[in-house]
A = this chain, B = another copy of it.
């Protein structure tokens, strides 16, 4: 390949944006041509992120669709929700490929979006165009598409853990309970008491109980996979660490199966997909084992006493749960190997 794909990143000063930059800097087929922020335009990006000193020399561009069109082929939208719904249509209309990392195009129903996000939904015409980029599940749809809605962090960990058993029809879908835990970076760089070091260090807490906006996203995908409406219980917690999500998922099985059968099912479902690793019987993954990488590791435990299946699924929320999966989707869109630029090892310890 002689020419590189030119990428612009909107929302470059958030954690998602900065991680996309880190990943794209070592991508062999991509060149970052514009880092964009609605605030701080004109200032060097490295001013706010000294770790980028002498690595990223670019100054932040303002949001200017014409300029973006001139400078880039693909746009990563790493802005907060409520922003992408307005921007993405403009970018699409001028012929840019768009990968939206926000929640604005994930829910097909505008009404559902409004109920959970408390924002005006995106234009239905564009909602209809968005491909939901859960790479290991809908990768075939991602190939050749030009507008991707990148999954949320919790949905990624949770759905990769649930899809095989639900798709196979073995799960009692009315019984699904998801107990999810996230590092604090999921809350972004915006200041707040919950993310204040002295309050969150040596602390563990639940938040948005029965109210988290990722609930309908998980339900929508499960419903699609199951072929029936699915309603789940979903609880989110904050862990005193920066990166990592662990979802503990509880499902009643419709019929008796052995743990071995279930592990086999998962191995077959993910065969050939290098970023999902199924742990062997009796082993469960830890968030640190995927830290800084695009892996999703899954462990399975069937309780003989209750017939209930416990699924443990872990990701790095900023990689597989955001920027990494966005790059993986770009790879699929472009017909490249899905691991291009992502084939690195978790950082341990």
A191 at the interface (CB under 8 A from B): yes
- Taking residues whose C-beta sits less than 8 angstroms from the other chain, chain A's interface range is 35 or more
A256 at the interface (CB under 8 A from B): no
Closest chain B residue to A245, Cβ basis: B204
Pairwise interchain contact A209-B345, C-beta atoms closer than 8 A:
no
Question: A203: which B residues are within 8 A, CB to CB?
Answer: 241, 244, 286-288
Smallest CB–CB gap between A80 and chain B, Å? Answer: 16
Pairwise interchain contact A292-B193, C-beta atoms closer than 8 A:
no
Question: A279: which B residues are within 8 A, CB to CB?
Answer: 50, 53
Q: Which of A49, A241, A250, A345 has the most CB of B within 10 A?
A: A345
Q: Within the complex, which residue of B21, B199, B235, B310 is in contact with A248, where a contact is CB–CB below 8 Å? A: B235
Pairwise interchain contact A195-B192, C-beta atoms closer than 8 A:
no
Pairwise interchain contact B237-A248, C-beta atoms closer than 8 A:
yes
Q: Within the complex, which residue of B205, B286, B347 is in contact with A204, where a contact is CB–CB below 8 Å? A: B286
A322-349 contacts to B (CB < 8 Å): 343-349
Task: Pick out which of these stretches binds chain B: A83-91, A118-126, A135-143, A301-309.
Answer: A301-309
A200 at the interface (CB under 8 A from B): yes
Smallest CB–CB gap between A232 and chain B, Å? Answer: 8
Q: Which of A185, A203, A246, A292 has the most CB of B within 10 A?
A: A203
Q: Which of A26, A199, A279, A287 has the most CB of B within 10 A?
A: A199
Pairwise interchain contact A189-B179, C-beta atoms closer than 8 A:
no
Pairwise interchain contact B204-A239, C-beta atoms closer than 8 A:
yes
Q: Within the complex, which residue of B240, B286, B292 is in contact with A205, where a contact is CB–CB below 8 Å? A: B286
A243 at the interface (CB under 8 A from B): yes
Question: A250: which B residues are within 8 A, CB to CB?
Answer: 177, 179, 233, 250
A1-31 contacts to B (CB < 8 Å): 15, 18, 21-22, 25-26
Question: A198: which B residues are within 8 A, CB to CB?
Answer: 15, 183-185, 187, 189, 195, 242, 349
Pairwise interchain contact A348-B201, C-beta atoms closer than 8 A:
no
A291 at the interface (CB under 8 A from B): yes
A231-262 contacts to B (CB < 8 Å): 231-233, 235, 237, 239-244, 246, 248, 250
Question: A242: which B residues are within 8 A, CB to CB?
Answer: 197-198, 201-202, 349
What 0/1 readout, one digit per residue, does chain A (176-218) give for beta carbons within 8 Å of chain B?
0101010111010101110111111111111101100000000
Pairwise interchain contact B246-A345, C-beta atoms closer than 8 A:
no
Q: A201-B241, A210-B310 are in contact. Are A191 and B191 (CB under 8 A)?
A: yes
Question: A306: which B residues are within 8 A, CB to CB?
Answer: 231-233
5 additional A-B pairs beyond A22-B348, A231-B306, A347-B347, beta carbons within 8 Å, are: A181-B181, A189-B196, A197-B200, A243-B349, A292-B292
27 contacts between A and B (CB under 8 A): A15-B198, A15-B349, A25-B344, A50-B289, A51-B290, A51-B293, A51-B348, A53-B279, A179-B248, A179-B250, A181-B181, A183-B198, A195-B198, A199-B288, A203-B244, A204-B241, A205-B246, A205-B285, A206-B246, A209-B284, A209-B301, A210-B310, A233-B308, A235-B248, A239-B239, A250-B250, A292-B292
Query: Closest 5 A-B residue pairs measured CB to CB?
Result: A205-B286, A203-B288, A179-B179, A191-B191, A51-B289
